Amino acid sequence: MTHTQAWQELKEHHRQISTKHMRDLFSQDPQRFERLSLSFEDLLFDYSKNRITDHTLRLLCALAGQCGLEDKIGRMFAGERINCTEQRPALHVALRNRSSRPIHVDGEDIMPRVHAVLDQMRAFVDKVHSGAWRGFTGEPICDVVNIGIGGSDLGPRMAVQALTPYHKPGIKVHFVSNIDPADLADTLAVLRPETTIFLIASKTFGTQETLANAHGARDWFLQAAGETKHVARHFVALSTNRERVRDFGIDPANMFPFWDWVGGRYSLWSAIGLSIALAAGMDRFEELLAGGHAMDEHFRSAPLDRNLPVVMGLLGIWYVNFFGAATQAIVPYAQHLQRLPAYLQQADMESNGKATTCDGRAVCCDTGPVVWGEPGTNGQHAFFQLLHQGTRLIPVDFLVPMHSHYAPGEHHNILLANCLAQCEALMRGRTDAEARIQMEAQGLDQADISRLAPHRVFPGNRPSNLLMFDKLTPRILGILIALYEHKIYVQGTLWGINSFDQWGVELGKQLAGTILTELQEDGALSEHDASTAGLIRHARRNL
Ligand code: F6P
């Protein structure tokens, strides 16, 4: 990317634009909002409050073109092995392919397999909801516990919460992810084994935390149920690994499979989404898939400068690589999107937190930003001070529904007003003259006004995107998730990295295995630095 003509032009353009204030860009151009916003179904993507002009966008699109983005998008949908280090396709788009188009992997159309698992999920969900699926005492199921971590937890957890208004009565879905025993214990404390089903969600079925929690849940269950034959009615597996599922003691008939071409953090659309379907029903789950598919169709066909994930991805590159932004805030003004920032943290940081290009060289520019955030308005009373007056440039994505599922009226209007106000305040800021006029109106004397003015000035010119939609439905949720997934791919493609592997999580796991043995056994320690060795000895003395 850094060797393209567009990159050089963008560097020069950045020098010119970095002194411009968005206030002036708006006042010079009454059509700015109309031109720098895009609609997709009921989603409005306003990107006019960014430090860009039409020329910036043209150059960024040229950059994408010179990096072969359109070809790379085509390669993903065609099932090519774009996950180059693991030699796998990245085909989460197949899981939500609602068209009749086949998708091939190694010459086989994978769509019949995808549909077969959706049918299996529907049959199971219907049985649980109708009460036909009974526990070992003959009682119907009322609690579902998803045991998984990372992509086998964050996506379903986020989506189940997002779809709260659609939850089926009589079924409550819980999540256990952490190996801290408190997580499992707190969850089990409110459950009855007779009426609980456990979904053991693990792509590999080899993740230490998930297996330990799954064994803990099984022991708890068997204390009540006694005989292991009852496990079949209370434990199902969501995995790609049939042998390990069998070794754990789950009948492969109770396994909902998916495939190695589904990345963990892209897996909520697969059998890993069973908890979403159990919470909200299979029809709602399919609406979620349909939303994701609609965004896929847009991504693969819209021209670069009208393409939401492309424009969003390019804006991110503009801030990371030209303004030096190290982080990206995600602020949903929707309580039920509380887990969206955590979900996007894994989606983005595990995908693009890399420093080696696909062909094994060191990247020569920054890559994925630190992604973080909290719902508004809570965030306003926590970290917004830094967004407005801190020394760092932090682009913000705001997300807000126009209507609530709950009582219409003032609450939601206050929420919406605050969201729009924050975008405006970040962009406009407050000048010294405006701060002084305001204080004069408040009756402050001139000495106080001069003393306080520097503190009450807001620089403004702080960029944000606004994603505004009608209501938080399964379909719009699917659209939003797919939008972010594709934005991540756009950025990874331009940075020349592989967004679909995660070698960076290996080393810590490996060392934890060694240290666990050393904590549990006496004897000489293997080779550690003095700090780690000292800490292991300290822990041994105190365990
Ligand atoms: O440790 C990281 C990771 O491999 C993630 O990529 C993945 O989502 C998570 O662990 C869980 O993996 P699994 O679904 O195989 O248990």
Per residue in 99-149, pLDDT (tens digit) is 999 999 999 999 999 999 999 999 999 999 999 999 999 999 999 999 999
513 sits in which H/E element: helix 506-520
pLDDT at position 193, please?
A: 98
pLDDT at position 28, please?
A: 97
pLDDT at 267 over 80: yes
Closest atom of ligand 1 to 267 CA is 8
Where do the DSSP E strands lie in 167-234? Answer: 172-176, 196-201
Give CA separation, 26 vs 29, 98, 316, 414, 520, in Å: 5, 41, 21, 25, 64
pLDDT at position 451, please?
A: 98
Helix (H, G, I), strand (E, B), or coil: what is residue 249? coil
pLDDT at 538 over 80: yes
Closest atom of ligand 1 to 207 CA is 16
Rounded CA-CA distance 191/168 in Å is 18
Closest atom of ligand 1 to 152 CA is 14
Query: In this structure, are residues 343 and 155 in contact, taking their beta carbons and an 8 Å threshold?
Result: yes
Question: To test ligand 1's pocket by mutation, which of 88, 147, 149 has the most ligand atoms within 8 angstroms of CB?
Answer: 149
pLDDT at position 139, please?
A: 98
> Could you tell me the distance, in angstroms and rounded to a whole number, from the CA of residue 400 to the centre of ligand 1?
30
Q: Residue 408's pLDDT band (boundaries 50, 70, 90)?
A: confident
Query: In this structure, are residues 341 and 372 in contact, taking their beta carbons and an 8 Å threshold?
Result: yes
| Percentage, residues of the chain above pLDDT 90 | 99
Q: Is omega for the bond preceding 56 within 30 degrees of 0, making it cis?
A: no
Say how many Å lie between the first and final Cα of the chain, rounded: 52
Question: To test ligand 1's pocket by mutation, which of 85, 152, 177 has the most ligand atoms within 8 angstroms of CB?
Answer: 152
Task: Pull the structure tokens for residue 136.
Answer: 């070992």
Question: Whose Cα sits closest to atom 5 in ligand 1?
Answer: 150
**Within a 10 A sphere around the Cβ of 101, how many other Cβ atoms?**
10
For 39, list phi and psi in degrees, rounded to 5.
-115, 145
Residue 329, strand partner residues = 372, 396
Question: Whose Cα sits closest to atom 6 in ligand 1?
Answer: 264
pLDDT at 338 over 80: yes
Identify the CA nearest to 472 among candidates 372, 398, 402, 408. 402
Angle at 329 between CA 372 and CA 288, to 5 degrees: 80
pLDDT at position 407, please?
A: 82
Give CA separation, 379 vs 193, 210, 375, 398, in Å: 39, 32, 6, 11
pLDDT at 154 over 80: yes
Residues in the chain: 543
Closest atom of ligand 1 to 148 CA is 16
Closest atom of ligand 1 to 350 CA is 6
- Maximum Cα interatomic distance, the chain, rounded to a whole number of Å: 82
pLDDT at position 409, please?
A: 82
Question: Whose Cα sits closest to atom 1 in ligand 1?
Answer: 505
Question: Whose Cα sits closest to atom 3 in ligand 1?
Answer: 150
Q: What is the CA radius of gyration of the chain?
A: 26
Residue-by-residue DSSP string for 457-508: -B-----EEEEEES---HHHHHHHHHHHHHHHHHHHHHHT--TT--GGGHHH
Rounded CA-CA distance 310/289 in Å is 21
Q: Mind telling me the catalytic residues? A: 350, 381, 509
Identify the CA nearest to 508 among candidates 488, 532, 524, 525. 532
Give CA separation, 63 vs 33, 111, 246, 435, in Å: 24, 34, 49, 41
pLDDT at position 223, please?
A: 98
Identify the CA nearest to 225 among candidates 321, 125, 137, 116. 137
Give the pLDDT mean for 54-81: 98
**DSSP code, position 336:** G
Question: To test ligand 1's pocket by mutation, which of 154, 505, 509 has the most ligand atoms within 8 angstroms of CB?
Answer: 505
pLDDT at 443 over 80: yes
> Could you tell me the distance, in angstroms and rounded to a whole number, from the CA of residue 267 to the centre of ligand 1?
10
246: amino acid identity, one letter: R
Query: In this structure, are residues 79 and 63 in contact, taking their beta carbons and an 8 Å threshold?
Result: no
Task: Pull the structure tokens for residue 242.
Answer: 């049939």
| Percentage, residues of the chain above pLDDT 70 | 100
> Could you tell me the distance, in angstroms and rounded to a whole number, from the CA of residue 164 to the centre of ligand 1?
26
> Could you tell me the distance, in angstroms and rounded to a whole number, from the CA of residue 355 to the centre of ligand 1?
20
Question: To test ligand 1's pocket by mutation, which of 502, 507, 510 has the most ligand atoms within 8 angstroms of CB?
Answer: 502
Closest atom of ligand 1 to 509 CA is 1
pLDDT in tens, 269-281: 999 999 999 999 9
Closest atom of ligand 1 to 149 CA is 11
> Could you tell me the distance, in angstroms and rounded to a whole number, from the CA of residue 152 to the centre of ligand 1?
7
Ligand 1: residues within 6 Å at CB? 149-152, 202-204, 207, 210, 264-265, 350, 502, 505
Identify the CA nearest to 480 among candidates 168, 72, 44. 44
Question: Whose Cα sits closest to atom 8 in ligand 1?
Answer: 151
Question: To test ligand 1's pocket by mutation, which of 153, 207, 501 has the most ligand atoms within 8 angstroms of CB?
Answer: 207
Q: Is 205 left (phi over 0), alpha (psi -120 to 50) or beta?
A: left
Give the pLDDT mean for 46-61: 98
pLDDT at position 326, please?
A: 98
Query: In this structure, are residues 359 and 383 in contact, taking their beta carbons and an 8 Å threshold?
Result: no
> Could you tell me the distance, in angstroms and rounded to a whole number, from the CA of residue 63 to the centre of ligand 1?
33
> Could you tell me the distance, in angstroms and rounded to a whole number, from the CA of residue 315 to the centre of ligand 1?
29
pLDDT at position 202, please?
A: 98
> Could you tell me the distance, in angstroms and rounded to a whole number, from the CA of residue 507 to the centre of ligand 1?
14
pLDDT at 255 over 80: yes
Give CA separation, 134 vs 74, 365, 515, in Å: 46, 56, 42
Residue 86, strand partner residues = none
> Could you tell me the distance, in angstroms and rounded to a whole number, from the CA of residue 204 to the centre of ligand 1?
8
